Amino acid sequence: MTRTSAAILLGAAMMAVPAMAADVEAGRETYWRYCSACHGEMAEGNGPMNPVLMIKPVDLTVLKAGNGGIFPLDRVIARIDGRDPLVSHGSEMPVYGDFFHEGGRETVEAEDGTRVTTSGAVADLVAYLRTIQAH
């Protein structure tokens, strides 16, 4: 086998690697620790911090329903990791220092096959959020 054909096979194999499996339980724990104060115990946007926020937290259980039945992966990740900051937090959403940038890099796959790379902490949190979507 030539170097060129070996490189092509290696590249094809790397593209075929499935997205990393996120840890839903770790995501649930992250939600309870970092998100429930604003979004509430049931993730319906009614946490105890709600009254002091300039922009009210959204109901995280209807993200999929509000997006034509498709979980809005890109938008959710961008909000959590700070690429799409919210004024209600006074800065980008990760007001918890670098926590949402920790855990290495993981690739999360959307329902349409689109892949988004983010931190392991965000991947776990998104995995949990996907499990609480109203159907």
- Degrees, nearest 5: CA angle 122-34-106: 10
Please, which residues have CB within 8 angstroms of residue 134's CB and are 6 or more apart in sequence?
Answer: 61, 62, 64, 65
Please give the C-alpha separations between residue 96 and each of 23, 109, 132, in angstroms, as whole numbers. 20, 25, 23
What's the average model confidence in pLDDT over 22-46?
94
CATH (domain of 78): 1.10.760
Read off the pTM. 0.77
Asked if the structure places residue 5 within a domain, the reply is no
Asked if the structure places residue 46 within a domain, the reply is yes
Asked if the structure places residue 3 within a domain, the reply is no
Asked if the structure places residue 64 within a domain, the reply is yes
Q: Which of 65-69, 78-82, 109-113 has the highest mean pLDDT?
A: 65-69
- Contact between 120 and 106 under an 8 Å Cβ cutoff? The reply is yes
Q: Could you tell me the residue range of the domain that residue 31 belongs to?
A: 18-131
Asked if the structure places residue 11 within a domain, the reply is no
Tally the domains of the chain: 1
- Cα maximum dimension of the chain: 66
Question: Which pLDDT value is given to residue 26?
Answer: 95
Question: Which pLDDT value is given to residue 129?
Answer: 97
Handedness of CA 81, 82, 86, 91 (dihedral sign): positive
How many Cβ atoms are within 10 Å of 83's Cβ, its own excluded?
13
Structure confidence at residue 32 as a pLDDT band (50, 70, 90): very high
Asked if the structure places residue 7 within a domain, the reply is no
Asked if the structure places residue 12 within a domain, the reply is no
Asked if the structure places residue 8 within a domain, the reply is no
